[in-house]
Structure 1
Amino acid sequence: MTGPLRVVISDDDDLIRDALRDVLDGQPDIEVVGVGRDADEAITLAEQHRPAVAVLDVRMPGGGGVRAAREIAQRCPDTAILAFSAYSDRASIASMETAGAVEYLAKGVPNREIVEAVRRLAGR
């Protein structure tokens, strides 16, 4: 692949969105091409930008990460989905995996792990 790895982020928490954008955009090989607040925006941004990776909050308005993951997986099959959540219970993880998430990270992990997961999902 040439060019930066394109990423879409969707989370209903302003601080989390801004922090994720800063962490990922701070990498020379990653470009955040869209940031949303809910499932609808996540789906629209994924369709518009066709990112390598979509980072989705599990619990957000519009049906949450489960709905967004399901729709993105169907509409943008080349986009890998990374679930990013404050919730790490088995039910949340299983629902996201069933919806199409390839990996699940709990909020609070070191920034390095987020960057590594995005690169891994994009095949870099």
Structure 2
Amino acid sequence: MAERAQTGPGNPIRVFLLDDHEVVRRGVRDLLDDEPDITVAGEASTVAQALARVPALRPDVAVLDVRLPDGDGVTVCRELRSHLPELACLMLTSFDDEEALLDSIMAGASGYVLKQIRGSELVSAVRTVAGGQSLLDPSATTRLLSRLRDGREDDAEPDALPGLTEREREIL
């Protein structure tokens, strides 16, 4: 990942927020705006708003909710990163979902954290991804890595049709 511009009080980390819940956006905005080296440059509650506003505002970090009523943050991440490769996307979600984590990584997200995170940890996560590093939720990452190492897609699938031979399953 490319080195990001130096940040600090004179040149703060510019953050964009995407979450469909106003209370969450306000809380995250207040939390981040309290930091001298971070400023919230803009926010949106829908995918369409985010895709229109982020390129114009050119933030350093986009904090994206994974699940939205009109789409998902993973798609927003992929789209934004295709036009703004220097943008760091931090996925913030309520759902401890291995698939969303993997999809986020594949879309180019720099970080993936759960909304249960403490405020100080979220601030630290923004600084981490703004600095060009990655940050993934440990519990979701552990489960995902375990599943990938085991090579299992779905434990129930082989026993789904117990009366069939291997060849019959293959044909099906």
Smaller-chain TM-score range?
Answer: over 0.9
Give the CA deviation at 1:108: 1.4
- Which structure 2 residue ranges, 5 or more long, are not aligned? 1-5, 133-172
Please say if 1:11 is aligned against 2:41.
no
Would you say how many aligned residue pairs link Structure 1 and Structure 2?
124
| Partner residue, 2:70 | 62
Please say if 1:91 is aligned against 2:91.
no
Written as runs of structure 1 = structure 2, the 5 A alignment for 1:1-124 is: 1-2=6-7, 3-123=11-131
SS in 2 for 1:28: coil
Deviations 1:39-85 (A, max 9, x none): 12222221011111000000013321011101111011111000000
CA distance in 1, matches of 2:32, 2:51: 20
Q: CA RMSD in A?
A: 1.3
Q: What residue identity is the alignment partner of 2:54? A: A
- Which structure 1 residue ranges, 5 or more long, are not aligned? none
Instruction: Report the TM-score, using the length of structure 1 for normalisation.
Output: 0.94
SS in 2 for 1:113: helix
Give the CA deviation at 1:98: 1.3
SS in 1 for 2:69: coil
Which of structure 1's runs of 4+ aligned residues deviate more than 3 A?
A: none
Kindly indicate whether the alpha-carbon contact (under 8 Å) linking 1:52 and 1:80 is maintained by their aligned counterparts in 2: yes
Instruction: Report the TM-score, using the length of structure 2 for normalisation.
Output: 0.69
Deviations 1:84-116 (A, max 9, x none): 000111011111111111110000110011100
Highest relative contact order (Cα 8 Å, sep 6+), 1 or 2?
Answer: 1
